[in-house]
Amino acid sequence: MPGLGPSIAKMDPAVGIINPQQACPLFSTLPGEIRTSIFELALTSYDDVEKPYRADRTYYRPGYHYHQKVDWSLLLTCQRIYYETRLLPVALNEHSFWLFNGPWMSIGHTSQRTANWGAWFSSLNPDQKGAVRRVHIFAQQYFLEQLGLRKDAARLNFDTNQLRLTFRHSDWWSWQSPVESSDRLGICPWISQRVSCQRMLAEPLQPDLAFIEARMNGGTWGWQICHVNRLELLEIEFEIDVVKKEQLQTVLERARHWKFPISQGRAVLEWTGELREYSWQGLADVKNEYQRLKETPVKEGAMRTYYVAIMVWKKVNRE
């Protein structure tokens, strides 16, 4: 965000002309690029160490050990700083939602579904809506496959440049099934309602775009993704107990050929070929918030190794 210089435009007719603050070294001496870097550092969210996530919760995972906090005091210093920074908290930071099994009690919600992105997006003004860059949804498979099917079901009715979906190991339909069971991992963005492994495997391995478009309707979660305005990048993070890594590999082989036709314009989200993998260890016995009746200290117990694979789709113009 470049410096505005001495001829600063009106921020708001009700406020009047903004004082350019040329006596302040922050504006008169520092280059605009450095000043912007300082503002970005000041308004980037950070771990609130006074509000840690419990290690025995389903939402505790790498990068998610604490509630996030943004220090807003910079915006209160003067009108010029406010003008230059007012959209940064929205633009810089990830907006996270849990489509079930999130920290709803910890953040004062009365609903187990902390996925009210509709109310959040509606609360933003037009400039803020246009500034949203990153949305992250932790998506239980059951709820994701219900998007758009019922009147009370959530829809991806927001704008963003980047969308990240995370399937935690307990978000899959068959996460509790024995490894040797026929109830194995399965998912497909153009099939509505529950998708079994067998149903997923019945689809073509390498479907063309016409095949996908004909099946991706309003009752599928893939259709919902295609209608997220301004979407240019999609990341899907697949996680499972390492003992089911082979099952997830079958899903990944299918996902390599997924395509998401963008609803506005002749463009499509295609897999970039990028696949990032890692493992981490957490408590094997984890609970949801509604199981928290009387808190006790987190107890050490058996550990579980999680295998995670992240795939990326980017917007490309159709030929």
Segments making up each domain of the chain, as ranges: 1-89, 94-317
Is there a contact between 225 and 160 (Cβ–Cβ < 8 Å)?
no
Strand partners for 288: none
pLDDT value of residue 274: 94
Residue tagged 């689809």 (tokens):
203
Whole-structure pTM value: 0.89
pLDDT value of residue 7: 34
Closest to 181 measured CA to CA, from 172, 190, 189, 192 = 172
Question: Could you tell me the two tokens for 18?
Answer: 């903004």
In this structure, what DSSP letter does residue 124 have? S
> How would you classify the pairing of strands 233-241 and 162-167?
parallel
Question: Could you tell me the two tokens for 255?
Answer: 């996902």
Strand partners for 159: 229
pLDDT value of residue 106: 62
Question: Could you tell me the two tokens for 88?
Answer: 């940064």
Question: Could you tell me the two tokens for 4?
Answer: 């505005």
Is there a contact between 301 and 257 (Cβ–Cβ < 8 Å)?
no
pLDDT along the chain (319 residues), means of 10: 34 56 82 91 95 90 94 90 92 92 66 71 94 95 83 78 97 95 96 93 96 90 93 98 97 98 85 97 84 65 95 91
In this structure, what DSSP letter does residue 155 have? -
Closest to 298 measured CA to CA, from 314, 286, 315 = 286
